[in-house]
Structure 1
């Protein structure tokens, strides 16, 4: 059964003709001589081109500049080939280690190993499966490459395809004869093809890829795939329909974009409906463009209901943080924070605050913007601690993860069963997937004196995470570990400060909540 924590992407390595993990000969060591020869063939040309660029001296001629750009393009291709080999071989080494490892007997386990085994059972995770090994290693590679997990997963797909399914493409890439985009297009369109079909595609496309544009190679690879794929067009459409989804991403200046992937007939029906509604809008005083009207109508329909209805029964839950000290000091230049997005204009935040059913004051550090203190000691986090973590962390605290506070849970840094407390210093927000990484797959997290957290991967890489609410990191000495603990206010001090706000020791962040309605469609009473 597929684990729900590992959602498949559009590209799936299981659609490539790969041998089982732990048996892939390309990543196996034949002998010291052959391994050394392959290493020289992979990195020797790269070193030669780098030396040529270094010894060429300062640029004086535009024609020479273009030739150097060609050399750099070759270097980029060689680097991508080396990256693919290293990624594919590294994850294969992990698979080999699991394949060769004897089954551990419970009485030989350490306490930490026992906890990880029990956690793996709790999360229904087979730590020796190819799916879990790849996902866990991809997460480590994302930290090493300073990229998102999604991008690292895409590179791993390409890496395995080049190393184990498309060897001729890998050789051409390592020689700098083709571009990275061309190599990715060939691997992508190798899905669902046999080894013989892939060899034929490489034979036809690699000579073209050496001189043609990436777009040409991509179109030819797709046409070859469609002609060679034995599935009927109807079957392919039914499979593609499983990938329907809605995604979003942030844009500058308080904007964001929404992307719908659905059957073409549904998308065209939506666009035709919007076109019709715009055509019925006859107000001569309205200066909005057609594009603006279409956007406004769609937003109105999804949030408040179509114009002819009474609206949807559910109301959105929006959380906005307003720094009161900045607002009072310079209201025109200060910015508020919209949870899951980031800074928004203060005027928009105040407009939301006007109709907010609840406002929660929280004491914050006026220099860094980090929330300073709330907390109680018991296993289940109380509501006030959860609100504190929403304000401080804002999203999952795993390196690079941006899953919102609503989709994350309170997690103990040091486990409750090993003596950890339920307080602000020993709790963080983690999504379900990265809870599993921490508790079952060998990841470690350590609190630092300055409030940051250090994540350590199963193979020894370190990554530092600063709470999402922190804006100024000037005093964060997380590298040298020299920043002392801040003095924690006593409960009496906090009650006095919260009862009568002042601007001497800190700032107040007012948390504005617009909660989801109950089943009857009525908003709950303000808390």
Structure 2
């Protein structure tokens, strides 16, 4: 198709996008239809068991038999089929609005999985319906990855048992164990409070990136394809912190080609075995014993902080955490921000602190939480602050003209036909090269979607909708 005009290419791409959207809708409808049939299979098996009577020890034989028949026809394990049958009943009976949205192609299997994981545990039917209505509003415009923390926070707010009580019970299940793997390897697995687990991961990542930065460009500097915690590929490989066959003491740069994921594992081992990531092969550019503090961003409702409410605190971008941990982190922080949000929409209206510094940057961090290109979750501390309307086009340096973009999407904005405009409420309206528009809402507003609904079941009192 040499010599094709740009308009012709755009028309072809637009046709392709329409076809892909139709295919995805058809696929979603087909997947939902399969779930409906599996739920119907459960009804048939239960009716067969009731008609057959007999001892309770064999009451599930009709279910097993039907699962085996379906599995044989589909070339799938009957155990897998029976689990899918149970999951289908949960979805169809407990989350009917989610099932309907899936059947109509409004949401994908990934969205449905998130909503089932977070909402099915809500026992009260009215509260679960409130959750569905609010969470589906987010699901229709966000990726499953962005939906998950918002849905978890919504579910926590609607749960009849306060999060603090549930966290106290869950914390008794803290554990560390080892699972042996092949080729002389093993997994070290730990169950920890979320704030601690993510803090550990961040501290390890900081050490690893310091090593990469200290080394600079080298043989291992190519993109390794390893994904960081924000979901974007790392631009570099890494230098080792543990002894390695390709390294010599204090001369690790030339031949070390390990990926950053390998360095993270080495740092993790060093910190646990020696108390610090400073073995003999550590590069001189990393001072021995230097403390790196983990970065954990926590949002605590002011009424919760003063004990007047039990609305859950949030580990930003991950979901709810218990109030006691959140307050302890806030109490030991070197500084913390007071965030004023709209009582209905959740839009960030203002932010301040006792000793203001870099006011605008802090406001943007709180508002955005991650890169503002649709679907991207790269955290703000690894993103650039971009002028929506460029400075050379008289774009002002103010909140309504700034947003975080990761390097990948910052480059895309400036070197492709993608265009973006920002409205006063912080929504970025992205326009693709073929003219399609994709709104990206500030992360803070995703969980403020229960307007005009009752929020909590008994025995807890129902709050005013504006609490959300």
- Tell me the TM-score range normalised by the shorter chain: 0.3 to 0.5
Structure exhibiting the larger radius of gyration computed from Cα positions? 1
Query: Structure 2 length as normaliser, TM-score?
Result: 0.38
Which structure's relative contact order is higher, taking Cα pairs within 8 Å and 6+ residues apart? 1
